Amino acid sequence: MSADLDARRNAFRPDLADMRLKGRVEAERFVEGEPRRIAAPIAPLRRRPAADAPLETELLMGERVRVFEETGDGWCWAQAEADGYVGYLPAACLGPDDAPPPTARVAVPRTLVFPGPDIKRPPLGALPMGALVAVTGTASDHNADYAELSSGGHVVRQHLAPLDALQADFVAVAERFVAVPYLWGGKSALGIDCSGLVQLALQMTGVAAPRDTDMQERELGTRLAGIEGLRRGDLVFWKGHVGIMLDGQRLLHANAHHMMTAIEPLQAAVDRLAARGAPVTSIRRLRAV
């Protein structure tokens, strides 16, 4: 009965399932789930409730999730609201859903959080691009203007953007991650993978994208006939991999060959992957870039 449902985006196990799936899957128990928000700068969503389990994706501060189970040993089984991805989160990364609602998002690859409005003080931590924050006040000194966060600390105001202030060019967003280390499941300037780069860059322009390459290949844009006549923003897919065209010749992609986000001639990537038995599977053009 659950054969038509993707377990990556539908919360069901033999013993427990999302109440919204009742009648579509079999499970011993169905629950509504509890809405929560990510309170850590970056929260790992893992395949199993273990620190050494494969990283499926990362969730960023302020994102909403629905928690279906708290395991009692520091893990929660949860589903991300934005893209529907299901997995196990450290319970310590979660905060209440009734926290002050976000009013801004981080618009730079990474910003530091200072304990007060003073860039000379040792930072408390950092926030990644796409993190959602609630600004409760402002301050200034001779160095910068600051936003005070409900979660604690201050960031420089120029690193934040209102929720409705979107980037114009997702390719330009992705270019800011050049030389960021490759991390399977990663979605920040500390480490990112190919589909995470596409998803985050599109998110910053207001375009919702699924998380994994096979989902993106099915659901984003329209298919082109071949690799001729490519333009900026076209997506090139291989089995398990995706890259973004910078122009008609150059590809930007987070990849394990360079172990970072890199720019290279498309033909070089095509030849290298073809030699490994991985031909291009499709080209997709977004409706607006």
| Residue 60 within a domain | yes
In a domain, 193, yes or no: yes
Give a yes or no: residue 6 inside a domain: no
Co-location of 129 and 46 in the same domain: no
Q: CA 186 to CA 194: how far, in whole Å?
A: 9
The domain of 158 spans 104-162
Residue 228 has a pLDDT of 81
pLDDT for res 250: 98
197 and 275, same domain (yes or no): yes
CB 46 within 8 A of CB 59: no
CATH number of the structural domain spanning residue 155 = 2.30.30
91: helix, coil or strand? helix
Co-location of 278 and 201 in the same domain: yes
CATH number of the domain where residue 187 is located: 3.90.1720.10
Residue 262 lies in a domain: yes
Number of domains in the chain: 3
**Three-class secondary structure of residue 285 per DSSP:** strand
> How far is the C-alpha of 239 from the C-alpha of 217, rounded, in Å?
10
Residue 133 CA to residue 39 CA, distance in Å, equals: 10
- Residue 11 maps to a domain: no
Does residue 10 lie within any of the structural domains? no
- Best CA proximity match to 239, nearest among 275, 279, 272: 279
Q: How far apart are CA 233 and CA 134, in angstroms?
A: 32
- Nearest CA-CA partner of 287 in 208, 214, 229: 208
State which of 162, 179, 207 marks the end of a domain.
162
The H or E element that residue 216 is part of is helix 213-219
Residue 288 binned pLDDT confidence (cut-offs 50, 70, 90) = low
Q: What is residue 207's predicted lDDT score, i.e. its pLDDT?
A: 97
User: What digits encode the pLDDT tens for the residues 23-81?
Assistant: 999 999 999 999 999 999 999 999 999 999 999 999 999 999 999 999 889 999 999 99
Q: What is the pTM of this model?
A: 0.96
